[in-house]
């Protein structure tokens, strides 16, 4: 731990931060797309091929339907979802570096990746006209003070600066901290997150009749996005879509 920190600090003196691959941390050059070395660029599971028509995650090869397992089992509150990659080794490394190693600058690159993903679906003008606002998934203030930043907020800022759609981190509020979701079943996740978000009272009218894009780093079962979409729709939001950097794989009934 000490040695690693020392090594990184020493390298910072010689090489500016932009020259590290955001996935493996190896020194690369700044001409690299998305600040990924060639190897990591190839290892990233970029979205392509069949995706779920509802949540946008890649469909398992043996799934013959147009929707993933979870979307067929559970009625969502959000309208449509978009994601850039399938959550795997490289995606995990990028997100961990951002969230837990404090490399906040990675959020800017993720925002760039997300913007490029949306321009596959829409022209820049269509995208700008499609949404009134971009809302990052909020984290609880205790977590915010520990981490120093909300990664979804930084990613939303980056996406907003590229798309021209205004990001607003002050509409949604995280009411309480929730248990780590990683080991929970879809049902447990929904129960764990219930009531975790609210809209700030004097901002309720700002979402009424609006088309909203929620931004987060990972999409798994959709319980977080659903909970937020439900709150926004109860306040009159017209449309609630989401965009994430990575999505978990299609679960299949055994
Ligand atoms: Zn790399
Ligand atoms: Zn789905």
Domain spans of the chain, in order of start? 1-43, 45-247
* CATH number assigned to the domain covering 45-247: 3.40.50.2020
Strand partners of residue 243: 82, 215
Residue 42's Cβ-count burial label (10 Å; 0-12, 13-18, 19+) is exposed
Question: Is residue 218 within 8 Å of 242, Cβ to Cβ?
Answer: no
Cα distance between residue 102 and residue 95, in whole Å: 10
The tens digit of pLDDT for each residue in 35-75 reads 999 999 999 999 999 999 999 999 999 999 999 999 999 89
Least confident of 117-131, 136-150, 204-218: 136-150
Strand partners of residue 246: 85, 218
Distance 31 CA to ligand 2 centre (A): 35
Distance 197 CA to ligand 2 centre (A): 22
What does pTM read for this prediction? 0.90
**Taking residues 120-139, what's their average pLDDT?**
97
- DSSP-derived pairing of the beta strands 197-199 and 81-86: unpaired
Distance 52 CA to ligand 2 centre (A): 5
Ligand nearest to the CA of 23: 1
pLDDT of residue 1: 33
Distance 175 CA to ligand 1 centre (A): 37
Ligand nearest to the CA of 51: 2
Structure tokens at 154: 């930084």
């Amino acid at each position: 731990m000490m040695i690693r920190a020392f090594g990184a600090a020493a390298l910072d003196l010689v090489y500016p931060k932009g020259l590290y691959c955001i996935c493996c941390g190896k020194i690369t050059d700044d001409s690299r797309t998305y600040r990924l070395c060639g190897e990591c660029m190839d290892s990233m599971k970029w979205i392509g091929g069949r995706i779920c028509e509802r949540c946008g995650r890649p469909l398992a090869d043996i799934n013959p339907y147009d929707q993933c397992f979870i979307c067929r089992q559970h009625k969502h509150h959000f309208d449509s979802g978009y994601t850039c990659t399938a959550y795997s080794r490289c995606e995990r490394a990028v997100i961990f570096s951002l969230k837990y190693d404090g490399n906040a600058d990675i959020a800017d690159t993720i925002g760039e990746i997300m913007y490029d993903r949306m321009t596959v679906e829409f022209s820049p003008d269509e995208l700008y006209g499609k949404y009134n606002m971009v809302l990052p998934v909020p984290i609880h203030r205790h977590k915010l003070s520990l981490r120093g930043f909300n990664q979804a907020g930084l990613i939303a800022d980056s996406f907003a600066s590229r798309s021209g759609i205004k990001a607003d981190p002050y509409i949604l509020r995280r009411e309480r901290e929730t248990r780590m979701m990683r080991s929970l079943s879809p049902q447990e996740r929904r129960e764990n997150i219930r009531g975790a978000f609210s809209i700030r009272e004097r901002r309720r009218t700002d979402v009424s009749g609006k088309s909203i894009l929620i931004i987060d780093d990972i999409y798994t079962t959709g319980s977080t996005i659903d909970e937020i979409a439900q709150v926004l729709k109860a306040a009159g939001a017209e449309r609630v879509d989401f965009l994430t950097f990575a999505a978990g794989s299609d679960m299949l009934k055994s």
